[in-house]
Chains A and B, each alone.
Chain A
Amino acid sequence: MNLTLRLKDTFGPFLGDGAEGNEFRCQKIEPFWDSYERIILDFEGVDSMTHSFVNAFVGNLVEAHPRDFREKLVFKNCSPLVKTFIKGALSFAKTRIPA
């Protein structure tokens, strides 16, 4: 069973606020992390974002789940720009995971 979350439905086409990204993670993802096989983050309709948002959202998820984030998270319908931001956040978060 998978959980799909459409980011645009909550935030609109621009994801700018790190505090909101962190809150969304805590409310909509963390409680269900172990209940679903995969968590699909659907970025359809999302044009752009800030580093504040993507690091607070994706970065915190990676740091909270260093062992299984690769298997659990799926990023769907990402534009090239959104993909760039997410990949940057994944790389940045990886450096903060204790070896």
Chain B
Amino acid sequence: MPFILPPTIHDALVTRLLRRLTAVDSDEPLTIDFSRVGFYEPGAVIALLTRLRHWKEKGRQLSATGIRQSPSKRYLQRIDFFAHLGIHLEEDFERLPAQSRFVEICRIKNSQVNALASKVARCMASQCEEPEEIRSCFAYILGELIANVDQHSGGAGFLSAQHYPDKGSIHVAVGDCGVGIRRSFEGTHLEEQLRTPRAALEKALEPTVSSALLRPPSGPYQGRNNRGLGLSMISKLISETHGQFRLFTENAVYEQIGDVSFKFDETSHTHPGTLASLSINTDEITNFNEVIGEISNRVEPSELDEWDEMFESPKDELDSSP
């Protein structure tokens, strides 16, 4: 009996897809029927791709059917969805430039945070009215989310992004099937306290909390690589810009729409690892600097003027060695 994928999955309803995927989670061979797949937003694309890759890597026998009949076959081919599953189909179309509407699905590997975040943000922002502000905002968000993949899955994850100019929004999703947030706290003093995925998820959203911060620095370079601000700052950014943010780890779900948020346990689905999906209304980002300044000051109120003497303008140039 093939597993029939639903025709439409908006990011707001990714849980529906996760529920269906969880229902067929086993070691048994599975045929996935793509024939009805029409419109999938980035959160759904990454949820599906990471799950199928996870099954494949565990040795589950998978086969695909109905790809030719799928109304979105070309789109999925164009964003390299099938290629990332090892399904290589002949393309009956010419690969035209994405024209800033989407990026091909990116495989996240170690040490590519700067280049990948920068590239995707530049592409997503180029057709917006405030391209510099949007680019800075998305580079920031993607940089923090990719760094999270590095922390929770050893750097192996996937990223998808899509600009919907008609809706005035950009959607991005970053996901992995790594250890998830709860297990990333293992070996820290919070391990006992954070026994459930939901408790760990709530903790990870608090400012200045990170499993990396709770461990003694290790490796050749002493010092922390992460101060645990990323997810909480993204959440505040979403609140300021009236966007949407969803975070799934195992059976715990965080859902935020503007400044209203919910955290709950799902009984009928899990996502092995971590999946983050968010959307931002492009016309809400007119001054990213102001937004970052405001939310930074809310996290750690301070007199920022006290640091002014450490900054130098080009005309005050000092003697310097190369």
Contacts and interface: CB of A to CB of B under 8 A. Distances in A.
Size range of the chain B interface in the assembly: 35 or more
Which DSSP category, helix, strand, loop or mixed, fits chain A's interface?
helix
Given A16-B143, A80-B289, A51 B230 contact: yes
A80 B60 CA distance: 51
Interface residues of A, number: 57
B224 interface: yes
A73 B227 contact: no
A9 to B, nearest CB: 11
A88 B236 CA distance: 15
Interface string B206-240: 00100000000000111111110110010000000
B303 to A, nearest CB: 8
B114 A17 contact: yes
A48 B136 contact: yes
A23 B224 CA distance: 10
B310 A75 contact: yes
Given A16-B117, A84-B289, A3 B321 contact: yes
Nearest to A54: B227
Contact of A2 (B226, B314, B319): B319
A97 interface: no
Given A2-B319, A74-B318, A91-B300, A52 B229 contact: yes
A39 B317 CA distance: 13
A57 B299 CA distance: 19
B262 interface: no
B289 A53 contact: no
Interface of A: 1-4, 11-23, 25-27, 36, 38, 40, 44, 47-53, 55-56, 59-60, 63-64, 70, 73-78, 80-81, 83-88, 90-92, 94-95
Given A25-B223, A40-B318, 4 more contacts: A14-B118, A17-B111, A50-B113, A88-B293
